[in-house]
A and B are shown apart, each in its own frame.
Chain A
Amino acid sequence: DAGVTQSPTHLIKTRGQHVTLRCSPISGHKSVSWYQQVLGQGPQFIFQYYEKEERGRGNFPDRFSARQFPNYSSELNVNALLLGDSALYLCASSPPGVYTQYFGPGTRLTVL
């Protein structure tokens, strides 16, 4: 079975630009979460979506937004990029009723 997939793998943007990251969960998984990982730290929770509804939001500014589609795939959008947004963005999915989250390979975002 295919795991969580994310696109693109790498992305380079300049300050002030906008970026959209995409995630496809494991088949049968209805919950998708987004995390940001900066070098030397563990992943930090950004959003969780379940059945297209936002179920949780971490301590990130309103420049960060997300949505989930009817096929359970998800997009993370970041507006007005800052240098500090440079990080690995991870998507994770989990099946109904299960706490374990399964991660994709991530998208490496570099903001210049």
Chain B
Amino acid sequence: DQQVKQNSPSLSVQEGRISILNCDYTNSMFDYFLWYKKYPAEGPTFLISISSIKDKNEDGRFTVFLNKSAKHLSLHIVPSQPGDSAVYFCAARTMEYGNKLVFGAGTILRVKS
């Protein structure tokens, strides 16, 4: 039961351009959404989050947009840098079964210089 889906396994972007990573969810009980970045042999690193009562949150080069009616969120990275190359996971929080995060399968981002 994939409640959080990242339908693009990979994305390739030129340095300096915008990277847009997408995520869809099905559970209307999700109330908080997060993006994590993961390098090989490391744990996920928290990037940015958004509450379900907002539609946008910005932190430097990273902006997350939430469209509740479409059950869709996206992460925009502007401008993209080669160091952004990593696996990006979308996660959603629910109080069902405790303070649990439900993750998507991830999107591999490659930023070409």
Chain A residues at the B interface, C-beta cutoff of 8 Å: 4, 31, 33, 35, 40-45, 48, 50, 55-58, 90, 92, 94, 99-106
**Contact A90–B101 (Cβ < 8 Å):** no
Asked if B99 contacts A94 (CB within 8 A), the reply is yes
Partner of B99, one of A56, A102, A103, A106: A56
Knowing A40-B105, A100-B34, A100-B49, the reply to whether A45 touches B97 (Cβ < 8 A) is yes
| Chain B interface residues (CB < 8 Å from chain A) | 4, 32, 34, 36, 41-46, 49, 89, 91, 93, 97-106
* A-B interface contact total, Cβ < 8 Å: 67
A41 / chain B contacts, CB cutoff of 8 Å: 105-106
- Please, how many angstroms separate the alpha-carbon atoms of A54 and B77 in the complex? 37
- Specify which chain A residues have a CB less than 8 angstroms from the CB of B105 in the assembled complex: 40-42
